[in-house]
Amino acid sequence: MIEITRETKETIVKLALEPYGSGISDIRTGIGFFDHMLNTLTFYAGFNLTINATGDLDVDTHHTAEDVGIVIGNAIYEFMKTKPLVERFASVTIPMDEALVRSVIDLGGRRYLKCELPRLSERLGTFESDSMIPFLDALSSNAWMTLHIDVLDGSNSHHIIEALFKSLGRALKIALSQSNNTSSSIKGDPQISGGAI
């Protein structure tokens, strides 16, 4: 079990993560649609994940979404430091009706996000769609992960974002699964210590 607390003047986020869980989640961020998406990610990643977040939602959803991304990324990074022999790579494409989204990840210690979202509805419930990129950037950066997300098709904002979270969750499950390899890299050093492997 990995437990992380992040407290700033803008948010307080408490997380507990079991990467090899059964998809059980208890997510409370104060943003209904975001909770729904994090529950979706948890299920498809096979995590057990608890998040309690309070933030300056009277301002907007940006800080809460970003800081949740930070703590999830931190938890994945902490796990990788103790369990380096994982599959590392994954590419998963998920449809949801007219939407089709591909998530490709490398848990190799390189911080990089490539994601170009189409024009989305400004809000889904109280969640501001402009908070998606800050969330994904914080997640990939703090997990020391390369993350490419391609929206291949879609017109409904809910479907696009949900397909994104489903594909990202399933990709994380595959990439974090235990590997039979003796090393995660041809460089021969499976340890991640803040740099690429």
Query: How large a percentage of the chain has pLDDT more than 90?
Result: 87
Instruction: Output the pLDDT for position 15.
Output: 98
pLDDT in tens, 44-80: 999 999 999 999 999 999 999 999 999 999 999 999 9
CA distance 152 to 171: 16
Cα 191 to chain center, whole Å? Answer: 21
Helix orientation angle between 157-175 and 32-45, rounded to the nearest 10 degrees: 30
| Strands 48-55 vs 99-106: parallel, antiparallel or unpaired | unpaired
Q: What is the pLDDT of residues 96-146, one digit of tens each?
A: 999 999 999 999 999 999 999 999 999 999 999 999 999 999 999 999 999
Amino acid identity of residue 153, one-letter, is D
Hey, what CATH topology would domain 2-175 get?
A: Ribosomal Protein S5; domain 2 (3.30.230)
Q: CB neighbours of 186 closer than 8 A, spacing ≥ 6? A: none
In the numeric block, the tokens 């740099």 are attached to 195
pLDDT band, very low/low/confident/very high, at 83 (cuts 50, 70, 90): confident
**Where do the structural domains in the chain lie, given as residue ranges?**
2-175
What size, in residues, is the chain?
A: 197
Q: What is the pLDDT of residue 185?
A: 56
Q: Is the pLDDT of residue 196 over 50?
A: no
Q: What pLDDT score does 85 carry?
A: 87
Tens of pLDDT, residues 145-175: 999 999 999 999 999 999 999 999 999 999 9
How much is the pLDDT for 175?
97
The alpha carbon torsion through 28, 48, 178, 188 (nearest 10 deg) reads 40
pLDDT value, residue 24: 96
User: C-alpha angle 113/26/6, rounded to 5°?
Assistant: 55
pLDDT of res. 180: 74
- Give the lowest-confidence range in 7-11, 132-136, 181-185: 181-185
Q: Compute the half-sphere exposure of residue 118: CA atoms within 13 Å on the CB side of its CA.
A: 17
CA dist 6 and 23 (Å) reads: 23
Choose among 128, 135, 129, 143: nearest CA to 17.
143
